[in-house]
Amino acid sequence: MTVLTGVCLCGAVRFEVDGPFERVSQCHCTSCKKISGGTGTVSGIAPTGAIRVLAGDEALRTFQPDEGLAKTFCAECGSNLFGGGWPESSHSSVRLSALDSPFDQKPEMHIFVRSVAAWETLPDDGAQRFDVRP
């Protein structure tokens, strides 16, 4: 087992997660574009119990969009940290952008490719593609 650590941009929130992730996926949905400021989120999926917030619990804010699963960010700096319904769901997403441990596992799937933007180029990386989610 590998323990990966993560931190938000301002350093208020620190967490760790037991690896390896069950899978790594990139989500291209419109919500993930809004929260990421880019083409979407890239996440490792882990059992929610494998994610431990070490510091900054009080800085965490969770937003529940009308459609899709809750997304959690740091209220101080806006860094997107968790998704997939954390902390209430059985499995949650950990944004790879928040990790500070070395990590080189590439996304094995692109989900919500129906929402790829006109300004976005889907990489030809051999990863499986799903219109919504598998």
Site string for Zn ion, 21-40 (x = CB under 5 A): ------x-x--x--------
Place of tokens 């900054």: 56
Which pair of tokens denotes residue 25? 């996926």
Tell whether residue 8 is a contact of Zn ion (CB under 5 A): yes
Shortest distance, CB of residue 45 to Zn ion, whole angstroms?
12
| Those residues with Cβ within 8 angstroms of residue 33's Cβ, 6 or more apart along the chain or in another chain | 39, 40, 115, 117
Tell whether residue 120 is a contact of Zn ion (CB under 5 A): no
Tell whether residue 117 is a contact of Zn ion (CB under 5 A): no
Q: Judged by CB under 5 A, which of 10, 69, 122, 127 binds Zn ion?
A: 10
Q: Judged by CB under 5 A, which of 20, 23, 47, 76 binds Zn ion?
A: 76
Shortest distance, CB of residue 1 to Zn ion, whole angstroms?
27
Q: Smallest Cα–Cα separation from 85: which of 130, 48, 124, 134?
A: 48
Q: Judged by CB under 5 A, which of 4, 7, 12, 51 binds Zn ion?
A: 12
Distances (CA, A) of 131 to 57, 93, 109, 113: 35, 19, 11, 5
